[in-house]
Structure 1
Amino acid sequence: MSKENKIILNRRVVVSQIMRERGDALVVTGLGSTTWDAAAAGDHPNNFYLWGGMGGAAATGLGLARAQPNRRVVILTGDGEMLMGIGSLATIAVAGPSNLAVCIIDNQRYGETGMQETHTGHGVDLAQIAAGAGFALTHTAWTKKDLKASIPHLYETEGPVFVAIKVNTDYVPMVLPMRDGTAIRSRFRESVLGARAFD
């Protein structure tokens, strides 16, 4: 059953608050709204924007966390994108990266294809799926108080961590980051590796 009438959090505000606390964390954003919201919070060379490949954010973040075990990696994506790549949650749990957090901005909609309702609007609980897979910590935030308690887990709690944040479907203007995939990759690689990026 949908609890949409009880959802008060605005996705743009939520993502801005999450990004404000990032420090030097590496952030992988999934297709669509989370990419726009991360860009609206302020473009950063440690942001890896996924413009395509729906369902690939979690797997990309896992690969990055394994390649950079001394850096915090946060996957920031939507419920529709996570549902598309749901098997990645089991793979992440089995791999057990202590430096990885998955944050789902859950508006219970497929925003990229016309705002059709996702399964989370029909009672599918992504945090319970992550818990069942074996994540070290899972949480769902519905309120400002929940959100405030959730953000430190994304950056400080030993992972893998899974946080779903329920947001409303209020319209926010689109803010597009750089779109050139080669430029995104090269900038991110240089930010992560420094001079070694050119070896």
Structure 2
Amino acid sequence: MRRIEAITIITREAESQGALLVGNIGYPSRELYAVGDRPNNFYMLGSMGLASSIGLGLALALPKRRVIAIDGDGSVLMNLGSLATIADQANENYLLVILDNGCYGSTGSQPTCTSRRSDLAAVASGAGVSEVKVATTASEVQSCMKGKGVLVIKVEIGNAEVGVIPLSPEEIMGKFMAISAPPSPSS
């Protein structure tokens, strides 16, 4: 399965669940924007390894909102500590989706450790995440999207031909904050 196909399924499921969706840096965010820009999407620009942490922070701050974070294998390898924190917090409203293509897709497809021996599902389980699933097909992805914890999706190497996101970081943040903020108490 191509990464953009997985992102399309994730986007559809996030929309049907009314979920906030945090997109990983580089091509995954660009692909997310291309398949379905919506105010509930937060696109990461230049913060490798932090989509999982930002997603968890949102889930903790907004416990009544469904939050899905899309991260890549390279980014998760850069911030493995987030898996232990996700396990420790065990939020019902949070799902981390790791798109594992075995490479750093946005910088030239250099191999990551998952292309050889490392298994991020095993690492997440070892960190204590109670619900860890692996998907390789579209139907498996769709059936796992209502869960919590960590979902590792094995995808092919390669980036879709998509443009850059035509929004500044301030525009991304402003649009996202307007939709994700809890309602202010009335006087």
TM-score w.r.t. the length of structure 1 is: 0.85
Pair 1:162–1:195, CA change in 2 (3 A): closer
How does 1:114-153 map onto structure 2 within 5 Å? 114-153=108-147
Structure showing the higher helix proportion among its residues: 1
**Equivalent residues, number:** 182
Q: Secondary structure at the match of 1:127?
A: helix
The within-5 A match list for 1:12-31 is: 12-22=4-14, 23=16, 24-31=18-25
Q: Secondary structure at the match of 1:113?
A: coil
What secondary structure, in the 3-state scheme, does the structure 2 residue paired with 1:140 have?
Answer: strand
- The equivalences for 1:40-79 within 5 A come to 40-79=34-73
In the alignment, does 2:164 pair up with 1:176? Answer: yes
Answer whether contact 2:20 2:65 (CA < 8 A) is retained. yes
The one-letter code matched in structure 2 to 1:27 is: L
8 Å Cα contact 2:62/2:182 also seen in 1: no
TM-score between both structures, scaled by the size of structure 2:
0.90
**C-alpha separation in 2, matches of 1:152 and 1:69:** 16
| 8 Å CA contact retained: 2:105, 2:157 | no
Distance 1:18 1:139 in 2: 15
Letter matched to residue 167 of structure 1: V
Deviation at 1:53, TM superposition (A): 1.2
Deviates more, 1:58-67 or 1:139-148: 139-148
Which runs of no fewer than 5 residues in structure 1 stay unpaired? Answer: 1-8, 154-158
The question of 1:185 aligning with 2:173 is answered yes
What letter is aligned with 2:38?
H
Structure 2 runs not aligned, ≥5 long: none
Alpha-carbon distance change, 72 to 194 in structure 1, aligned in 2, over 3 angstroms = closer
Shift of 1:39: 0.8
Task: Name the CA distance, whole Å, in 2 between partners of 1:42 and 1:152.
Answer: 19
- Cα offset, 1:11, TM superposition: 0.9
> What amino acid is the match of 1:17?
I
